[in-house]
Amino acid sequence: MKIVPVNLYVLYFKTMATLYDEITLGYTACGGHKAGKAYSFLPTDGSGDFTVSRTTSKVITNKDGNLQTIAVNVPPVTWENGEPVIQPEGQTTQLLTRPISFDHADWDKSGATVTSGFPAPAVDGSGNVLLDAYKLVATVNNGYIRLATPKAIINGSTHANGIYIKRVTGSGVVNLIGINGSDIPKTITTSWTKISDARAATSTSGQIGIKLATAGDEVMIYYGQMEVGGSATSSVYIDKTLEGAQRTRNADLVTNALTGHKSIVLNDKVKFY
- For 215-235, the pLDDT digits (tens) are 999 999 999 999 999 999 999
Q: Is the pLDDT of residue 20 over 70?
A: no
DSSP 8-state secondary structure symbol assigned to residue 130 = P
Phi, psi dihedrals of residue 150, rounded to the nearest 5°: -55, 150
3-state DSSP call for residue 242? helix
Average pLDDT, the chain: 85
Tell me, what's the pLDDT at 83?
A: 82
Strands 107-110 and 143-147: antiparallel
Strand partners, 166: 220
Tell me, what's the pLDDT at 108?
A: 98
Strands 83-86 and 77-80: antiparallel
Tell me, what's the pLDDT at 2?
A: 32
Are the C-beta atoms of 39 and 27 separated by less than 8 Å?
yes
In which element (H, E) is residue 159 found?
Answer: strand 158-169
Q: How many CB atoms lie within 10 A of CB 230?
A: 11
The whole-angstrom separation of Cα 89 and Cα 270 is: 12
